[in-house]
Structure 1
Amino acid sequence: MNNLLIERRRDMEKKEKSSLAERLFSLSIKDILNRDLYKHQIKPIPDRFRSAEEYRRCFVPHLLEETRTELSSSFKSLSRSPVFEIHSVEIKEGSGSSSNSVYEITLKNTGTINATYQPKCGDVIALTKERPRRIDDLNPLHLAYVFFSDGDLTVFVRSARAIPSLHEYPILPYKQNGHLIRFGVFLMNTTTNIRIWNALHNEDPSSTLIQSVLQENSLASTEQCLCNRTDVASSDYARVSPVIRSATLNRSQEDAVLGCIKTRNCSHETSAKLIWGPPGTGKTKDGRNSSLFLLKLKCRTVVCAPTNTAIVEVASRLLSLFKETSSSEHPTYGLGNVVLSGNRDRMGIKNNQPLLDVFLDERVVKLGHLFPPSFSGWKHRLESLINFLENTETKYERHVHELKEAERMKEETEKKKKKQEVERMKEETEKKTKQEVERMKEETEKKTTKQEVERMKEETEKKKKQEAVHITEKKKKQEAVHIPTFGEFVRKKFNASSEELKTDMVDLYTHLPKSCISSEQVKYMIAAQQALDRVRYFLQENSSKSDFNKGSFKFDCFNRLISADCLHALRLLPARFEIPDLLESKNIGAFCLQSAHIIFCTASGAAEMSAERTGSVDLLVVDEAAQLKECESVAALQLSGLRHAVLIGDELQLPAMVQSEICEKAKFGRSLFERLVLLGHNKHLLNVQYRMHPSISRFPNNEFYGGMIADAEVVQEIIYQKRFLLGNMFGSFSFINVGRGKEEFGDGHSPKNMVEVAVIAEIISNLSKGILISNLRIYESVCLYSYYMINLVTVSSERRMKVNVGVISPYKGQVRAIQERVSSLPSGQLLTLNVRSVDGFQGGEEDIIIISTVRSNGNGKVGFLSNRQRANVALTRARHCLWVVGNETTLALSDSIWGKLISEARSRGCFFEAADEKNLRDAMNDALLEDLSSSFGTLSIGRNR
């Protein structure tokens, strides 16, 4: 292991707080499966808190219970859990007591088992004697926590109990209490939970912002703050107002952005500002714009989101806007003040170059290459190229001399080898001759004459000479050293050096903060790159020609081009930059974070932003704040120097997911955003939606948002009203009644409705066959001829448009059933299909959304389908068409929002019977016959038994 990996492992071991891991280690299998283990410790999360200490401590038992629940869930699916095979185990010296020691585990490279699972930092694994299939295979339970991964086959773990090491059991596999330890099975990743745990146990919080969110009377407002009437505030507005005007923001978005700037200017109070962003109103866009403006104001801001996917989306949007407003000559200059921090694999940015330009780990590598402690790096490469261009003839002569000297040394070496080979062959030949002569003497005795012996000697000598000639010829055939021409040498050397230097220049103005590299220096670099390109082009055209040598016209042109253009441009470049000595990767990382104006990370990732590593922070912006458990916000609220936070979200959509039923009832999934709203904290509404056709937005707007959301002009235009299938049933909004459906409860107790599955599959089949009409105008023109094109209208590919279709169901059983059914349908290039649960669609949107409500009974029982937040998400994902498929009777009796939806659909003439459409009626009949046939088959089997 190299020094860098050793350093990283020690740092991670030092900062890793094992309290949560130790709590898990102390649990038995019985404890982990016990739903009531923490029941008596869990109380409902209060709306108000008396102190920051009470605030942090109240979440601890809930976090333990949620972690136990996830661990218990993994126990129940062991047969499907990722597994690796153990090759060796070694305890690391000085790692602590045997009960909490650090071990290095090397994985066995089997090519099969390891292919499915490579342990990652934060993984909790169970060590077992055999590949586990059921819970009993874990007994006795031996848990370990992975805190560092060194490549693909080595991990460092902290173990619950001592693991026999190589020194104790030199013969593998190893034994634990008489049992063989051969496998490690993945149970869960605890990275987020451990970060939350550490934040909740922070003994010395450096931020006072938490005091502002404890109670309603502690909530400060910056709206009328005198700080915003100062010259600084006016100057800030003047600097960003041109960008605001060019960003095509509506009034509510513009006010939200200006509110962020006002919040930033307040220096004598702490505050939490809420921006309420209903579906389609551009809350992520608002966060992107705010981030760009804060970047221009050099405001040290941390931008958080609940998940890696969410924070990557926010960062991507900022980079897109940054590119739009940057110079075309150097579009990445200034990105050195932007950092994306996180895990490369979990963020999925391995091949995303724009994001890699701001990714912290990538930046550390780039700067380490530019400013290494050894005699190399940017300064060395710049000076080397200048020296080469100033002395091309001398360099060439030296190169030729070195080649000839190397050839001479090679020839001498070959001569020595040849001489040694000849001597060896001579000795072997003489030895063989002597042996052969002796043998023949013994065999022939008196018959062997002196002439025969001489003849044999002559033949042996002849063979020896032939072999020597063969060796000589073989050596002569070897290719002689190639001496390049002067032009070839210059072109090859220049191309390699200049390309590396050009890469260095791009990396410099991309990864260095503006405080270390001025715009004037960047202009010099752009000019130098252009000069290098001119020299490269000249050499490409002329260097291979025979007259490119000293004294020739082309050579004189080359010299003038170098001295008057290229060397002049290179000498203007700075060899040094005002940066600290960056000897270690952790120092480079700290330099990048402390120099950044905008830092993107997940909410739990904010726990890594210590004062020592990141420095003081001015402002916190949390996107999708309503989807974040409040305990996940604690780390971000404790950032060093933080005084203000801006939370962007919508509490009327789905909250964070909670696995434990006890925790869910105790409001563990509630967000800080929602609690502040309950306390009466003001929230700024983004009141224009840009996603849904007005026919779609009308119901959720009135039902959830009191009609406060206006439709943007773009969604009101006639061209936004798309028609993808013939018939009024498939307009912008419709409820399609499937009254003959039947709900079934299969494995996992998640309901499904195969009749609804059949209806939805038929609709998707029609779409995939090409019944795609680009807009209402085409639809109306086709309808003129519908009397002879009743069942199928195929539009030419020129008139088709690519369509994204989403199918949403609240129930996993229905999602799986639909996925299985549509997987057999022919896939078309013009249709993209996405079938997911409501939770999976939060934050997404599609051209067409089909909702399957599933429930079909006579008493109106709909379960969690009645959840208003879940319904809000499902009903607001569509851009052009929303088709709700369900049982009218069940939904109307449910006394839920779905009954209201049916009433509105009827009043607007958007209620349709699936049986009225022939294709759908046939699909329903086939599904019912299939169900009947299956029932008879089951009955027949039962009788035969």
Structure 2
Amino acid sequence: KLSLLVIFKTYLSFVSPVDLMDYKEIRRILAKEEQTSLFASVCSWSIKDILNEDLYKDKMKTIPDRFSSVDEYFQCFVPHLLEETRTELFSSLKSLSKAPVFQIDSVETRTNEFFRRTSIKMFHDITLTNYDADDKSEKYEPRCGDVIALSPLSLTEERPRIDDLNPLLLGYVFSVSGGLEFSVHFSRPIPKNEKHLFRSGVFLMTLITNTRIWNALHNEAADSTLIQSILQEDASVRNITTLIYFMLQWSDLWDYLSCKLLNIAFLVGLLVFQVTEECFSCGHEDVDGSDSDSVLDIIRLAKLNSSQEAAILGCLKTRNCNHKKSVKLIWGPPGTGKTKTVATLLSVLLKLKCKTVVCAPTNTAVVEVASRLLALSKETIVCAPTNPAIAEVVSRFSSLFYGTSTLERTTYGMGNIVLSGNRERMGIMKNKALRNVFFIERVTVLGKLFSSSCGWKKRLESIIDFLENTEAKYEQHVHELEELERVIEEEKKNKKEEDEKKKEDGEKVTEEVEETTMQEVVNIPTFGEFVKKKFNDLTQELEFDMVKLCTHLPKSFISSKDVKNMIETRQALHRVRCFLLENSSRDDFKKGGFRYNCFNRLISVDALGALCLLPKCFGIPSLGDDDIRKFCLDNADIIFCTASCAANMNPTRVGSVDLLVIDEAAQLKECESIAALQLPGLRNALLIGDEYQLPATVHNDECEKAKFGRSLFERLVLIGHNKHLLNVQYRMHPSISSFPNKEFYDGRITDAAIVQERVYEKRFLQGNMFGSFSFINVGRGREEFCEGHSPKNMVEVAVISEIISNLFKVSSERRQKMSVGVISPYKGQVRAIQDRLGDKYGSLSGELFSLNVQSVDGFQGGEEDVIIISTVRSNVNGNVGFLNNRQRANVALTRAKHCLWVIGNETTLALSGSIWSELISESRTRECFYVAVEDKNLRDAMNDALVDDVSSSF
């Protein structure tokens, strides 16, 4: 099924004859798209609809655990996606006063041949007016996928209100030409006589991710074979469940056989599980014999623990099976080396040339994986749900690329890796390694390299021609300069005659051009000066091109032998350059001279021989821009992209995919995984995650209750899919890991030897209160509800500020490197802490002290030496709100490496009946419970905060 975006991107800039185009068919497809696209549904909403919280309430059902068909599976997410989109628009309308606005200079109907012949009238080009340099309000920067609303009023004069947008005219940005020009698909045609009425507009939301999810849910041509395997639990799992139940019923009747029957059931269960986990037709080898040694070397060098090795080997067994399609789960609790495991697995898959797609829900998650893989690229595609996620994967991956030999230190092999995403959001320009694999950058570089007029081939031929005909080139250059000198002299003569005539006529004469300027223009260099300058100019560009070719060409087009030849050529050119630097100004550097003869021998023996070994076209045909894009994607072994972008990975662009790996799978909404699960030829999928940490964010409460935010990982666990546990944690000191291990993971996680060593226990501040783990009771605080109903507790803010001040002082005095994180579940508290601390520690700390203040959601995936948790709530009812969420508590309690200090009101938390009640009980049992007023500095800080609070109330 074609989408509007695909069609538009293909034809919007279409300017060649289109007589063969079947416009009626295109119009039919577009008409169907107009009725079924997500934006079409959004366009049907009035402002009243958007504000109606019951609009889809009757259509939303709780998403089931099992599905009877693929159609049912896809369709069950549709009403929830619409409601979630409506909620985001609702939120945007409610906060219009903070939204970016823009002034419109013109609105013009698209008039190219495609739009004229398809009778499409709802597509317009918008030009914005330049922003006032003194205007400090937020500027709107158009991006593809933006939803905007136009208004006949000047929204920049006063902050916009909802009534200013009534009747609602929505637009979807599908093309951006520059900072002030973009193309929009509007919700209705704009009559020609009304275009001038629209004076301004406002940005509402970005719809691109939801659109991609929508398209995946409505993709009639998708390969859904693998999806069939995730609709329900495996038949063999259902059979063993039924068998065990049947045997247990018999054991109630015959008690004396119960023990034996249960043993039999257990053995049968193991047998059936073995059948579901392994395919008997494939044998028992993890990898092919020819590759087993190199694969085992990669695993051995990674120094993995037994659970990590088992996870990788299990995945390889799945990959080698050609008889069944399956989805495997790896359970990676906090600090268990999940990223290292995934990176090692991908390294092995690269070695085996297994084409793989890797997705992740956060920016950080993708970078964590990809940063370890750039040098090992073989045949893998990597995706992630967000742009920063991809950047993080690629950045970490690049660290392994650089080896010890000259060849390994080149960027050879990066051409097999493509990073696709938003340049700004991914921080491409700040990271050279990311630029080397960024898709748009590569297309631009290769376009220049293979330009017929000034590309690699032209430069290579030019330097060879120059070195073979140095004397003739010099004579030609001298002739050109002499001709130029003759022209200048002729102009001077004519000018002089004109000036004399003007003087005779009494006219004013302009001053003559200085003689030195004329001489500089036609300064004829010596032979040595000419050779040196021309050689340097030609070879400098050529050497830049060599690096770009090694970096951006896939290995299938540039061999390691080609790279070695380039390195040898650069060395040869360097030797020639050094010779010219020393000898080009000598008197005998001329025809027949000793030094010139030495130069010729150096050129013929060394440089020309090396240059002639270099390929001119690398077997690549002449390519246009679109061809280069296809070339990059078609020949890439690894493609990093967001999860929703996986829908664009069609067979003509990337070919067939063997394996899908979704990292941080428990943080990805199941409907977001569907696009990746539809990849062409996909046989197996591997999901890595932890359902006991935070799931994906859902904006609508009814959608959340209906399990719209639930991940595929969590649902598969619920219906009985086996998950392989990574059971050794390397992050937390044992006194920190003890509580979450017991509460969330049933004590199944063991502490690695490194965190049990004495040196891992660090005391940053004096006093037992500031040991590896402590609960610090702040009983005199008061919760206040800020704008947006997010609570804050200024007494806790004061306590945290004092602790951080002391940590910073210790770090500065001892020159001790220290990273500190402050976590609170509430945005109001996060803002209050940030306002109190300001940028003091960012500007003064340098590289020794780092401070990160975030919400729990913002800290997922992160870690710091010291973590301070502010629980905020302080009331006599034990009301803790969403602090009660166990997943949120798990994330907060597992971020610290050396010290975890929980700040809170004991009475409130103990009465809550939540996980925090258990934490207080645990801290008392372990004698890690402390009262803040027992510390003089904290007591003084609390008193000051209370005084300020009383003063502000008057």
Match of 2:306 in 1: 251
Distance change >3 Å, CA 326–CA 510, structure 1 → 2 = farther
SS at match of 1:186: strand
Q: 2:186 aligns with which of 146, 153, 159?
A: 159
Distance change >3 Å, CA 805–CA 474, structure 1 → 2 = closer
Match of 1:238 in 2: 293
SS at match of 1:771: helix
Aligned counterparts of 1:509 and 1:476: Cα–Cα separation in 2: 46
CA deviations over 1:385-429 (Å, ceiling 9, x no partner):
1111111111111111111112222332343344345445544x3
Residue 461 of structure 2 is aligned to residue 383 of structure 1: yes
* Structure 1 contact 765–825 (Cα < 8 Å) conserved: no
Q: Alpha-carbon deviation of 1:377?
A: 1.9
Distance change >3 Å, CA 751–CA 472, structure 1 → 2 = closer
SS at match of 1:323: coil
Q: 1:565 aligns with which of 593, 606, 625?
A: 606
Q: Alpha-carbon deviation of 1:157?
A: 0.6
Match of 2:873 in 1: 855
Aligned counterparts of 1:225 and 1:571: Cα–Cα separation in 2: 55
Q: Which moved more, 1:567-576 or 1:670-679?
A: 567-576
Greater C-alpha radius of gyration: 1
1:340-355 to 2 correspondences below 5 Å? 340-355=419-434
Match of 1:889 in 2: 907
Aligned counterparts of 2:511 and 2:390: Cα–Cα separation in 1: 68
Match of 1:632 in 2: 672
Q: Alpha-carbon deviation of 1:368?
A: 1.5
Q: Which moved more, 1:29-38 or 1:530-539?
A: 530-539
Match of 1:202 in 2: 219
Residue 643 of structure 2 is aligned to residue 600 of structure 1: no
Distance change >3 Å, CA 556–CA 315, structure 1 → 2 = same
1:323-362 to 2 correspondences below 5 Å? 323=402, 329-362=408-441
* Structure 1 contact 741–856 (Cα < 8 Å) conserved: yes
Match of 1:216 in 2: 233
Residue 118 of structure 2 is aligned to residue 95 of structure 1: no
Q: 1:27 aligns with which of 27, 45, 48?
A: 45
Percent same amino acid among aligned pairs? Answer: 63
Q: 1:532 aligns with which of 558, 573, 578?
A: 573
Distance change >3 Å, CA 583–CA 888, structure 1 → 2 = same
Q: Alpha-carbon deviation of 1:361?
A: 1.5
Q: 2:597 aligns with which of 553, 556, 559?
A: 556
SS at match of 1:748: coil
Match of 2:794 in 1: 754
Residue 452 of structure 2 is aligned to residue 397 of structure 1: no
* Structure 2 contact 101–138 (Cα < 8 Å) conserved: no
SS at match of 2:482: helix
SS at match of 1:652: coil
CA deviations over 1:234-274 (Å, ceiling 9, x no partner):
33332322122112222222222222322221112111111
Aligned counterparts of 1:681 and 1:327: Cα–Cα separation in 2: 48
Name the aligned partner's letter for residue 309 of structure 1: P
Name the aligned partner's letter for residue 121 of structure 1: C
* Structure 1 contact 299–597 (Cα < 8 Å) conserved: no
Aligned counterparts of 2:229 and 2:492: Cα–Cα separation in 1: 83
Name the aligned partner's letter for residue 130 of structure 1: S
Name the aligned partner's letter for residue 123 of structure 1: D
Aligned counterparts of 2:223 and 2:770: Cα–Cα separation in 1: 57
CA deviations over 1:10-48 (Å, ceiling 9, x no partner):
499999966111211111111111111111111111111
Distance change >3 Å, CA 741–CA 22, structure 1 → 2 = same
* Structure 1 contact 528–566 (Cα < 8 Å) conserved: yes
* Structure 1 contact 704–872 (Cα < 8 Å) conserved: yes
Residue 154 of structure 2 is aligned to residue 130 of structure 1: yes
Name the aligned partner's letter for residue 148 of structure 2: I
Match of 1:312 in 2: 391
Aligned counterparts of 1:814 and 1:599: Cα–Cα separation in 2: 40
Q: Alpha-carbon deviation of 1:221?
A: 4.5
Name the aligned partner's letter for residue 560 of structure 2: S
Aligned counterparts of 1:495 and 1:84: Cα–Cα separation in 2: 50
* Structure 1 contact 228–266 (Cα < 8 Å) conserved: no
SS at match of 1:734: strand
Q: Alpha-carbon deviation of 1:358?
A: 1.6
Distance change >3 Å, CA 894–CA 535, structure 1 → 2 = same
Distance change >3 Å, CA 303–CA 473, structure 1 → 2 = closer
Match of 1:813 in 2: 828
Match of 1:803 in 2: 818
SS at match of 1:684: strand
Residue 726 of structure 2 is aligned to residue 706 of structure 1: no
SS at match of 1:126: strand
How many residues get paired? Answer: 857
* Structure 1 contact 627–656 (Cα < 8 Å) conserved: yes
Residue 946 of structure 2 is aligned to residue 931 of structure 1: no
Residue 648 of structure 2 is aligned to residue 614 of structure 1: no
Residue 282 of structure 2 is aligned to residue 227 of structure 1: yes
Aligned counterparts of 1:686 and 1:308: Cα–Cα separation in 2: 27
* Structure 2 contact 176–183 (Cα < 8 Å) conserved: yes
Name the aligned partner's letter for residue 549 of structure 1: K
Name the aligned partner's letter for residue 317 of structure 2: K
Q: 2:685 aligns with which of 645, 648, 668?
A: 645
Q: 1:412 aligns with which of 470, 480, 490?
A: 490
Aligned counterparts of 2:939 and 2:154: Cα–Cα separation in 1: 53
Distance change >3 Å, CA 477–CA 249, structure 1 → 2 = closer
Distance change >3 Å, CA 493–CA 911, structure 1 → 2 = same
SS at match of 1:148: strand
Residue 88 of structure 2 is aligned to residue 70 of structure 1: yes
CA RMSD of superposed structures (Å): 2.5
Name the aligned partner's letter for residue 399 of structure 1: H
TM-score by length of 1: 0.87
SS at match of 2:688: strand
Aligned counterparts of 2:468 and 2:903: Cα–Cα separation in 1: 77
Q: 2:209 aligns with which of 166, 175, 192?
A: 192
Name the aligned partner's letter for residue 486 of structure 2: R
Q: Alpha-carbon deviation of 1:555?
A: 1.6
Distance change >3 Å, CA 49–CA 921, structure 1 → 2 = same
Name the aligned partner's letter for residue 820 of structure 1: D
CA deviations over 1:768-796 (Å, ceiling 9, x no partner):
2x124xxxxxxxxxxxxxxxxxxxxxx74
SS at match of 1:264: helix
Distance change >3 Å, CA 391–CA 330, structure 1 → 2 = farther
Distance change >3 Å, CA 742–CA 614, structure 1 → 2 = same
Aligned counterparts of 1:324 and 1:65: Cα–Cα separation in 2: 51
Name the aligned partner's letter for residue 276 of structure 1: W
Aligned counterparts of 1:906 and 1:608: Cα–Cα separation in 2: 55
Q: Alpha-carbon deviation of 1:130?
A: 1.6
Distance change >3 Å, CA 234–CA 760, structure 1 → 2 = same
TM-score by length of 2: 0.86
1:645-684 to 2 correspondences below 5 Å? 645-684=685-724
Q: 2:863 aligns with which of 845, 850, 855?
A: 845
Distance change >3 Å, CA 425–CA 33, structure 1 → 2 = farther
Q: 2:321 aligns with which of 241, 251, 266?
A: 266
Aligned counterparts of 1:561 and 1:115: Cα–Cα separation in 2: 62
Match of 1:781 in 2: none
Q: Which moved more, 1:703-712 or 1:90-99?
A: 90-99
Residue 911 of structure 2 is aligned to residue 875 of structure 1: no
Q: 1:523 aligns with which of 529, 550, 564?
A: 564
Q: Alpha-carbon deviation of 1:329?
A: 4.1
Q: Which moved more, 1:54-63 or 1:5-14?
A: 5-14
SS at match of 2:873: coil
